[in-house]
């Protein structure tokens, strides 16, 4: 019977597809979203990777708190209020009394403690959010305490900024709260329900997972017993449509409501269509040019400084980065405490040549530049290849998939690399700095692949200390000043990573769709409605 219902639901949604030239219209109570699902490998919150999977989990799992899509402030969700202890060593959460999981089981503080302990026990990608803050499985029972059914206390593992921990707990993956009873009922061989949770959900969100077929579609069905306001959409169909042109054509015809993976040319072609809205919002991280400090040429500070002046920041911003990014040269995301304005670097070939000559390379040199074989990476890399050549640096482009390009970076086996990263999922300076600048152990054996500074073999003990001091400063004004000082020092020592654009997320959707949240990290379909 369940298989019949799933098939019928999918058929009803896909039936909206119309012959070419015929304007279709999706049902008023169903949302059809086109996206890329290549990175959706599991729906177990402890094992997920990538923002596309977070976007799915946001609809089927709740977190203790959430980040506001408007200003990214921390707002209540399962926890209706919380208190940070005066000594900043613990946070006490008071859970809603009416929250239930989709199974009908009540959401309890025990479920919260179990979910966080499970995250550490599975020891997969998402556990790093807690491990980097000092939490361990051995001490989990002391760190995660259910005082009663509706009071949960998290004891910080080391001196930290509790506000950053709140931001981490707001993100699905590390912060997803699971129905422990349902998960354990489906446990096999001590896997904590992992095999079952790959294809099923045990959350308390406004939707439940009805069916997922890898690299084809995901169907979400409204949870009519949801503790909060009911979603307007009865169902959401997320379709795997990796080709930008296909998404554009289906959006124009009305076969889909939302397109999340459109490339710049297709977005540009939709700008004049009044039936379609295009929206961009700040994303997470930066597009950057990075160097390997294992290469003696790039270990030379003057060479790294020369590279700063061999990027046409304004040209890239105007010609390559629209819909993808916005000109940005600092290592902190816009709007976080202590963020400074850009240094104003511009393309200056003459200055770069002078610096290269001072470094002992008056005629430049040959090198390789690794880059993903997709936009905007290839176009940006080609532009930078041209400006490098003006100073005598002959860079051969090596393009490939994410595993090939970032794999080489994780192995510390590259020369130059154009990439995207640098944190930003949490609106706190430490999130950027831990990703892009902090490196506690520069040895090859450390394998600290989460730290891009480790990937680039960049190590500065003073910088590590400055980052740690800023994190634990309790006075907000003093903390902001410390983060300003961190940026000034990073500018002085010339980091191995030079941002040139801050990531923006862009989506296009039918203009009758209201309440869309564009950022995949924050997107929830519970507030989406159609005006017809």
User: How much is the pLDDT for 403?
Assistant: 82
**In terms of residue numbers, what domain contains 210?**
23-275+511-531
Residue 42 has phi, psi (to 5 degrees) of: -160, 155
pLDDT by residue, tens only, the chain of 532 residues? 434 334 444 554 444 443 333 446 899 999 999 999 988 999 999 999 888 999 999 999 999 999 999 889 999 999 999 999 999 999 999 999 999 999 999 999 999 999 999 999 999 989 989 998 999 999 999 999 999 999 999 999 999 999 999 999 999 999 999 999 999 999 999 999 999 999 999 999 999 999 999 999 999 999 999 999 999 999 999 999 999 999 999 999 999 999 998 999 999 999 999 999 999 998 999 999 999 999 999 999 999 999 999 999 999 999 999 999 999 999 999 999 999 999 999 999 999 999 999 999 999 999 999 999 988 999 999 999 999 999 999 999 999 988 889 999 999 999 999 999 998 899 999 999 999 999 999 999 999 988 999 999 999 999 999 999 999 999 999 999 999 999 999 999 999 999 999 999 999 999 999 999 999 999 999 999 998 7
Number of domains in the chain: 2
266 with 175, same domain: the answer is yes
Which positions ≥6 away from 480 have C-beta within 8 Å? 337, 338
CA distance linking residue 489 with residue 493, whole number of Å: 6
The residue among 110, 134, 103, 105 whose CA lies nearest residue 120 is 134
Same domain as 458, residue 408:
yes
Query: Are residues 230 and 91 both part of a single domain?
Result: yes
Residues 271, 324, single domain; the answer is no
Structure confidence at residue 25 (pLDDT)? 80
Sign of the alpha-carbon dihedral angle for 278, 284, 288, 292: negative
Query: Is residue 12 assigned to a domain?
Result: no
CATH number of residue 97's parent domain: 3.40.190.10
The token pair at 448 is 């600290």
Q: Do 406 and 299 sit in the same domain of this protein? A: yes
Residue 3, domain member (yes or no): no
Are residues 406 and 497 part of one domain?
Answer: yes
Strand partners, 148: 151
**Which pTM does this prediction carry?**
0.89
pLDDT at residue number 38? 86
For residues 210 and 322, state if they share a domain. Answer: no
Per the domain annotation, does 470 fall within a domain?
Answer: yes
Strand partners, 396: 368
Pairing verdict, β 79-84 and 497-510: unpaired
In a domain, 6, yes or no: no
Q: Which residue has the tokens 């919380």?
A: 82
For residue 409, the domain's CATH number is: 3.10.105.10
């Amino acid at each position: 019977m369940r298989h019949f219902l799933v098939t019928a639901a999918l058929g009803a949604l896909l039936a909206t597809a119309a012959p070419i030239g015929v304007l279709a219209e999706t049902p008023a109570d169903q949302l059809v979203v086109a996206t890329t699902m290549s990175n959706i490998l599991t729906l177990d919150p402890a094992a997920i990777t990538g923002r596309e999977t977070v976007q799915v989990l946001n609809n089927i799992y709740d977190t203790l708190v959430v980040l506001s899509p408007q200003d990214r402030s921390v707002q209540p969700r399962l926890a209706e209020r919380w208190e940070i202890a005066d000594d900043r060593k613990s946070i006490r959460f008071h859970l809603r009394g009416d929250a239930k999981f989709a199974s009908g089981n009540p959401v309890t503080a025990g479920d919260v403690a179990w979910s966080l302990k499970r995250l550490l026990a599975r020891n997969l990608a998402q556990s790093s959010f807690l491990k980097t803050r000092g939490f361990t499985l051995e001490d989990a029972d002391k760190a995660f305490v259910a005082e009663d059914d509706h009071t949960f206390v998290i004891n910080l593992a080391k001196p930290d900024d509790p506000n950053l921990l709140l931001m981490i707990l707001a993100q699905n993956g590390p912060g997803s709260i699971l129905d422990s009873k349902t998960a354990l009922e489906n446990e096999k061989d001590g896997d904590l329900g992992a095999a079952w949770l790959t294809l099923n959900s045990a959350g308390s969100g406004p939707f439940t997972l009805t069916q997922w077929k890898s690299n084809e579609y995901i169907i979400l069905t409204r949870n009519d017993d949801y503790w909060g306001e009911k979603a307007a959409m009865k169902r959401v169909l997320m379709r795997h449509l990796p080709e930008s042109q296909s998404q554009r054509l289906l959006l124009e015809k009305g076969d889909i409501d939302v397109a999340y993976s459109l490339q710049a040319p297709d977005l540009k072609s939709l700008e004049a269509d009044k039936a379609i809205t295009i929206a961009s919002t700040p994303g997470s991280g930066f597009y950057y040019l990075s160097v390997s400090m294992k290469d003696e040429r790039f270990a030379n500070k003057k060479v790294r400084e020369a590279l700063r002046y061999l990027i046409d920041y304004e040209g890239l911003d105007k010609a390559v980065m629209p819909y993808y990014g916005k000109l940005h040269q600092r290592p902190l995301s816009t709007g976080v405490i202590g963020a400074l304005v850009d240094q104003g670097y511009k393309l200056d070939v003459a200055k770069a040549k002078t610096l290269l000559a001072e470094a002992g390379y008056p005629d430049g040199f040959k090198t390789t530049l690794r880059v993903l074989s997709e936009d905007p990476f290839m176009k940006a890399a080609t532009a930078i290849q041209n400006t490098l050549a003006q100073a005598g640096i002959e860079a051969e482009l090596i393009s490939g998939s994410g595993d090939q390009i970032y794999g080489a970076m994780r192995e510390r086996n590259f020369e130059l690399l154009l990439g995207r990263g640098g944190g930003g999922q949490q609106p706190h300076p430490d999130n950027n700095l831990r990703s892009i600048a902090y490196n506690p152990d520069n040895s090859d054996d450390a394998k600290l692949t989460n730290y891009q500074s480790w990937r680039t073999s960049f190590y500065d003990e003073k910088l590590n200390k400055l980052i740690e001091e800023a994190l634990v400063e309790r006075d907000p004004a003093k903390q902001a000043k410390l983060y300003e000082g961190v940026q000034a020092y990073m500018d002085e020592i010339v980091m191995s990573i030079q941002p040139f654009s801050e990531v923006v997320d862009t989506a296009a959707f039918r203009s009758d769709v209201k309440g869309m949240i564009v950022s995949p990290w924050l997107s929830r379909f519970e507030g989406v409605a159609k005006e017809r």
